Structure 1
Amino acid sequence: MGDARFHWFADTMTLGRADRVLEIGPGASPSLSLLADRVPEGRVIGVERSATAITRAAERLRAAGLDPSVHGAPPGESTRARSSRTGGTEPREGEASHGDPGRVGLVHAELTGLRPEQVLDDFGIDAFDKILAVNVNLFWTKRPTAELALIRRLLAQGGVLYLCYGYGDPDGAAASPKPPPGRLGEHLAQAGFTERTVASGDLLCVIGELD
């Protein structure tokens, strides 16, 4: 399921069967389904700012046999349309739909405006073990002080953040543009993370670990 880069990202995360995983900006990629396969006893939540991507991600998850809980109604989508797809009662804004809240969820929100309770209290999670962001540029195009502080609040003690970049394959040429690993490492260190870097082919992952 999915292209080779998402399998490499998941391998790099060394996921446990019961890990609680948050992905920032999954879009409509196959990553959420792949992560859910890797943590059959855990939880996978995606936070996405695009209403279109939320809709497509939910459809992809359902096609994979998963029934995601969706928080926040994408604008312009009618209650009847969403209810007919999910087969359940439409949630009020900020509540989960009648998907399986124990496995996979989606939150329609900007990371900069995300409230911790939107992905913790609302989904019954006290903290995340792993947080993944793939090709999310804000972590190096600006000094992401507020974003990394939020991530620290979401991570469990000993939790790990994975900032991954690249559009190619783990065994291909390093062709796609990527941020300087040193800049990402500097930002992580300033936020209190211990940083290390893993790279393969066209893919880069800068890893921040909490003590």
Structure 2
Amino acid sequence: MAGRVVPERVRFAAAVVDPGASARVLEIGCGPGAAAEVLCPRLTGGGRMLAVDRSTVAVARTTERNAVHVANGVLEVRPSTLAGLEVPGSSVDIAFTVNVNLFWTGDPGAELAVLRRALTPGGVLHVLYEGPPPAAVTAGLERHGWSVEPVAGDGGAGVTARPR
């Protein structure tokens, strides 16, 4: 990580996500790949991370920044919207987003349906922001059958959600 900036919001997200060594992690909206850079070294017991972004530029940046994690099979990076994401059912233990607006700018029903299928029983979604999340985040999650708990700390705030 020498010479590369890891924003405080990403450090906050990494602390909230806190994957175990064998966790299967999904990052929605990977941007330049800072979160993958912080989380992949923790996946030492067979864990894997899938990072997706609708921007091909973001996918390229994440892939380049994390070339060693891609090469060793810990990280897969692909272009995709969340609504269009295809993953096997019950293949994700932890999903998270940092500063992704899709959970409050419209109805997230299609995206939450994808996550509901993808998450393992007991799996969790963290929707995180630099500051307090808009009220629409909690409202949308609850409307689509998710239980929501607030989370906050240095560098960010958000919600942790589980399908009901």
Whose Rg is larger? 1
Matched, 1:115 2:86: yes
For structure 2, list consecutive stretches of 5 or more residues without a partner in the other structure. Answer: none
**1:153 aligns with one of 113, 117, 121:** 117
- Distance in structure 1 (CA, Å) of the matches to 2:106 and 2:123: 23
1:206 pairs with 154, 159, 163, which one? 159
Comparing both structures, which one devotes a greater share of its residues to strand? 2
**Among residues 33, 36, 43, which one is paired with 1:32 in the alignment?**
36
Which consecutive segments of 4 or more residues in structure 1 shift more than 3 A?
none
Which residue identity is paired with 1:51?
T
Could you tell me which of 92, 105, 115 is aligned with 1:141?
105
Q: CA RMSD in A?
A: 1.9
How far is the alpha carbon of 1:39 from its aligned partner?
A: 2.1
Among 89, 96, 103, the alignment partner of 1:132 is: 96
Where does the alignment leave 5 or more consecutive residues of structure 1 unmatched? 69-98, 167-173
- Looking at structure 2, the residues matched to 6 and 201 of structure 1 have their Cα atoms a distance apart, in angstroms, of 11
Aligned mates of 2:147, 2:118 — CA distance in 1: 17
* Contact residue 29 and residue 54 of structure 2 kept, 8 A: yes
**Pairing 1:51–2:4 present:** no
Counterpart-to-counterpart distance in 1, 2:24 and 2:155: 27
Q: How many residues align?
A: 159
Report the 3-state secondary structure (helix = DSSP H, G, I; strand = E; otherwise coil) of the residue aligned with 2:139: helix
* Highest RCO, 1 vs 2 (Cα 8 Å, sep ≥ 6): 2
Shift of 1:113: 2.1
- Letter paired with 2:144: A
- C-alpha distance in 1 between matches for 2:15 and 2:155: 15
Using structure 2 for the length normalisation, give the TM-score: 0.87
Shift of 1:205: 1.8
> Alpha-carbon deviation of 1:190?
2.0
State TM-score, norm by structure 1: 0.69
**Matches of 1:31 and 1:202, distance apart in 2:** 14
State how far apart, in whole Å, the 1-side matches of 2:16 and 2:62 are.
23
Is residue 60 from structure 1 mapped to residue 65 from structure 2 by the alignment? Answer: yes
